Structure 1
Amino acid sequence: MGYTLLIVAAVSAHYAFLAFGVFGGFVAWRWPRLIWVQAAAALWLLAVVVVGLECPLTWIEDRAREGRGQAPLASGFLDNHVAGIFYPHGFEWLAQIVVVALVLTSWIGFALLQRYNRLRQLDARGDAADHHLV
């Protein structure tokens, strides 16, 4: 039972991390300080895909499977838990393009919102200074 819970926890943490790495930039529109955490998550995801780094969560899942007397999965989380569910097998390249587009859109939107907020603050300070002079 303990190893099963560990597998479920590792897979769940994987999904949460993947979701944050892809969509966290949009969350940062509301909570701007998260942008650096999301950028680090997105860069980690990029390194896993491009360089082929093994994720520690995959290692935990594989050790839990071994603890249950099962063989580790042949490949990583994306191949075993994402491909075929969120996109068809064989279309990884399209999924990667969509992910890059989502992350870049969230970052561009974040930058534009930050610029808008700064201009609004400067305008508010200018209006306050103008009222102070009157």
Structure 2
Amino acid sequence: MSNPITAASSSTTGDITITSGLGRARTGGIPRNCSCGERIVELISKSQPNPYRRYYRCLYAASLRLENDDHVFKRVDEAFTDEIRQLHNQVRILEEKVQLLKATIRSERPTLMPKISGGCVPVIVGISVVVVVVAGIMMYK
């Protein structure tokens, strides 16, 4: 007797199937869990229209060989494509935030670091601070 999970196949061609009023809910990216709470397994189709095509399926639905149900069914290549689109959108949003932060830093830089005329003034100020700190440490000992 064959294992129902490894022998599961489907003749469905998309990840949204509507038959007899029942429809599969679309999941974005790689599915993690089915809406029924069962985990997702990766299977290989043995059907004529999609031989050897990999897909994700709800373990419960796969073990009972359910078809046209509300449990998760999604082709692996479609899941990867969705996942890449989601990552691309996240990268685009992060790039926009970085650009906004850069613009904010550029606009606030003059108030954060006032310009001092004369190139050696900051060096002299820095040296005098070091001298005062060293003198304070020596006096403390």
Give the alignment's TM-score, normalised by structure 2.
0.32
Q: Which has the larger radius of gyration?
A: 2
Give the alignment's TM-score, normalised by structure 1.
0.34
